[in-house]
Amino acid sequence: MSALRSVLENGRLVVVTGSGGVGKTTMSAALGAFTASQYNRRVLVLTVDPARRLADALGLESFGNAVVEIEASALTQNGVPAAGRLFAAMIDTKASWDELIERCAPNADVRDKVLSNKLYRNLTERFVHSHDYIAMERLFEAQQSPDYDLVIVDTPPSRNALDVLDAPRRMKEFFASRLLKLLTTQAQSRLFSLAAKPFFLVADRILGARFLTDITEFFTLFRTMEDGFVKRANEVEAVLKQNDTSFMVVTTLESAPLHEAEFLIDALRERGYSLNTVIANRVTPLALVSQAQIALSKLETSIQDPAFVQAVVKATEGVEPSAEQISRVVSSIARKSAEAVRKGGAEQVTLDALHKRSADSQAELCICTISGAEIARASALVALGESVHPA
C-alpha cells in the first residue's frame, strides 16, 4: 500500500505545506473527502482560505470558524455510501484569537481589557504571525479532540512556509525575551535601570511616549497569560513530532513552487518532522504525452494527404468548414499539441528530479494529474483524492 494511503488510513494529523497557488487547499479537501469515503474514519479538514467553489462543492453555505459536517450523501461514490464522515472548518484568525484569550485569561477583568485593547485588535487582524500562531493553535485543538480520527490541516500562505511551524517557538521566545520583561516591569524599576535608559529615550522619541505606555499596558496584561501560552506552545511542538503526525509538501512543476518545495523538503527533515509525501500537482498525464508524440509524427505527414483532408471534411460535415478552416484547425492541433508534448517532456525531467529528491528524504512522491475539469461536487473531490497515486 502506498505510504500516502497508509497515512490517510492510520494517521492522526496531516500537515499540508507548499507555496501559494499550488492547489494546497483543494488537495487537502480532496484527500479528506477521499479518506471519509473510503475508510471508516471521522475526518476534519481545517483550511485557511477556501475558495467559494470549494465550499460549494462541499455543499456548504459558508465556511466559518465552527466545524460543520459535510452531508454524507454528497460523498456517495457510484452508489456506494461513504464509510466515514467528513467535517470542515475555516480558520478565522480574529475569532480564534478571541476564543484563545477567553480561555487563557486568568480572570474576566483581564479578558475584557485585552479584548477591548486597541493594540490587541490591530495585532490579531494585521499582524502576520498571528495567523501562523492561530493555525497551530487550531491544529492542536483538533488533534486533541475525541471527535475526529484524522485531521488534515492546510497551512496559511506565509512569507515562508516554515513560519507557521515556528510560530509556537516564537511565542515562547517572545515571552522569555528580556525586552518584554523590561517593558512590563513597570515604570518604577525601569527608571532605575541604567541599561534600559537609552532604549526608552529613543523609543519614546520615535514611537511617542503615549504609544509606549499603550504597548506596556497591553503586554503587561498579555504576560498574565504567559503560562497558558507557553504550555500550549510546548504541547503543539510535541504534537508536530508525534509518530502519527506526518507532513506533506504539495507543489506544481513550475520553477518557483518547485524551488519552495525543495526548500521545504530539506527544512522539514532538518527540523526532525516526518515528511511522508510529496505531491506533484497538475501534472500532464505522461501516457497521453507519449501517445500524442507517436500520433504527431503520423499527423504531420498526413496533413498534406488528400485522403486525410477528405476524411476530416467528412467528419465535420455538419459545420461545413472551408478548406482554409480545415487546414488552419488541423495545423493548429499539430502545432499546439507538439508544444504540449514538448512541455510534457520537460515536466517529466522535472518530475524525475523531484522523485529522486523525495526518495533521498524518505518521502513518497505522488502524482495528481491535471484534469482541467471543474470540482463542482464533493464526489469530484473524492475522485480527485483517489486519483493521487505514487510516481
Partner 1 sequence: MGKTTFASALARFSASTGKKTLIVEMDDKGALAHALNTSELQFAAREVAPNLFAMSMNTEDSLREYIRLFVRNPLVNTFGPLAKILDFVANAAPGVKEILAVGKLCWEVREHNYDIVIVDAEATGHIVAQVDAPSILSNLVQVGVIREQTKWMQEILHDKATTGVVIVATPEEMPVLETMQLLDTLQNTTNVGVSAVVANRVHDDVVQGGDVAVFNSLWQAVQSNNMVNDVSEALRAPMRLLNVATQRRRNEVENLEQLVARSRQGGVMFMSVIDIDTRDIDVVTAMTQVLKDELQ
For 299, residues 6+ apart whose C-beta sits below 8 A from its C-beta are 330, 333, 334
Piece in contact with partner 1 (CB under 8 A), picked from 38-46, 83-91, 152-160, 351-359: 152-160
- Contact between 253 and 347 under an 8 Å Cβ cutoff? The reply is yes
C-alpha cell at 258: 518547485
For 246, residues 6+ apart whose C-beta sits below 8 A from its C-beta are 7, 11, 13, 14, 15, 274, 275, 276, 277
Which DSSP string corresponds to 278-293?
EEEEEEPPHHHHHHHH
Measured CA to CA, the distance from residue 194 to residue 175 in angstroms comes to: 22
Q: Judged by CB, which is closer to partner 1: 10, or 177?
A: 177
Give me the least distance between CB of 159 and partner 1, in Å please: 6
Q: Judged by CB, which is closer to partner 1: 153, or 289?
A: 289
Asked if 159 touches partner 1 (CB under 8 A), the answer is: yes
Asked if 3 touches partner 1 (CB under 8 A), the answer is: no
- Contact between 352 and 31 under an 8 Å Cβ cutoff? The reply is no
Asked if 174 touches partner 1 (CB under 8 A), the answer is: yes
The interface with partner 1 within residues 285-314 (CB under 8 A) comprises: 285, 288-289, 291-292, 294-296, 298-299, 302, 307-308, 311-312, 314
Residue found under cell 492522526: 12
Buried b (16+ CB within 10 A) or exposed e, 154-184: bbbbbeebbbbbbbbeebbebbeeeebebbb
List the strands of the sheet with 275-283, edge to edge.
Answer: 68-69, 85-90, 42-47, 150-154, 13-17, 245-251, 275-283, 364-369, 389-390
Q: Judged by CB, which is closer to partner 1: 223, or 271?
A: 223
Residue found under cell 457510484: 78
Amino acid in the structure at residue 110: V
Give me the least distance between CB of 149 and partner 1, in Å please: 28
C-alpha cell at 299: 499527423
The interface with partner 1 within residues 236-265 (CB under 8 A) comprises: 255-256
Q: Judged by CB, which is closer to partner 1: 79, or 318?
A: 318
Piece in contact with partner 1 (CB under 8 A), picked from 10-18, 81-89, 242-250, 322-330: 322-330
SS3 per-residue string spanning 103-117: HHCCCHHHHHHHHHC
The interface with partner 1 within residues 35-94 (CB under 8 A) comprises: 49, 51-53
Give me the least distance between CB of 218 and partner 1, in Å please: 8
Interface with partner 1 (CB under 8 A), residue from 72, 230, 267, 334: 334
The interface with partner 1 within residues 192-211 (CB under 8 A) comprises: 198-199, 201-211
Interface with partner 1 (CB under 8 A), residue from 67, 72, 110, 123: 123
Q: Judged by CB, which is closer to partner 1: 77, or 160?
A: 160
Asked if 344 touches partner 1 (CB under 8 A), the answer is: yes
Interface with partner 1 (CB under 8 A), residue from 337, 348, 361, 387: 337
Piece in contact with partner 1 (CB under 8 A), picked from 34-42, 83-91, 226-234, 284-292: 284-292
Q: Judged by CB, which is closer to partner 1: 20, or 81?
A: 20
Give φ, ψ of 195 to 5 degrees: -65, -35
Q: Judged by CB, which is closer to partner 1: 83, or 311?
A: 311
The interface with partner 1 within residues 358-377 (CB under 8 A) comprises: 370-374
- Contact between 20 and 36 under an 8 Å Cβ cutoff? The reply is no
Distances (CA, A) of 60 to 24, 79, 169: 19, 22, 35
Interface with partner 1 (CB under 8 A), residue from 343, 352, 359, 360: 343
Interface with partner 1 (CB under 8 A), residue from 183, 221, 250, 381: 183
